[in-house]
Amino acid sequence: MSTTEHDLLLYARRVRLHFPLELRDVAEELALTISAWAGPKTKGLLLETTLLEILSWMDVEPLPAGADSLDVAAAVMALEEDGSAEFPALLLAHPAATTFEQLVQLVAEQRSKSG
């Protein structure tokens, strides 16, 4: 049985309820981008899921715990292109310590500043 677009949308929508109202749309949008790359693994997405975990779900390239910065940068660039957000180098330098919740907050802040 293959994963449908509807399935991906449902995976992404699961995370909305874990965020305050003002962050729910951003959380769902980022989760939908992740689900397009990670498929059913997105069902495991939680606020505390780290960027390294998320990147390891993606089919860009396998990212082991010791992935180097180029591996991380390539996968994050794919997320940035699909998600209309830029992640600062500080977060990317520590993918094992950066959470999905932090990414959502960062994107929401960027969008509020840009208008």
Sign of the Cα torsion 101, 102, 107, 109 reads: positive
* Per-residue model confidence (pLDDT) at position 113: 84
- What are 7-64's pLDDT values in tens digits? 888 888 999 999 999 999 999 988 988 888 888 899 999 999 998 888 888 755 444 5
| Strands annotated E in 1-115 | none
Query: Number of folded domains in the chain?
Result: 1
Residue 34 is predicted with a pLDDT of 85
Strand partners, 43: none
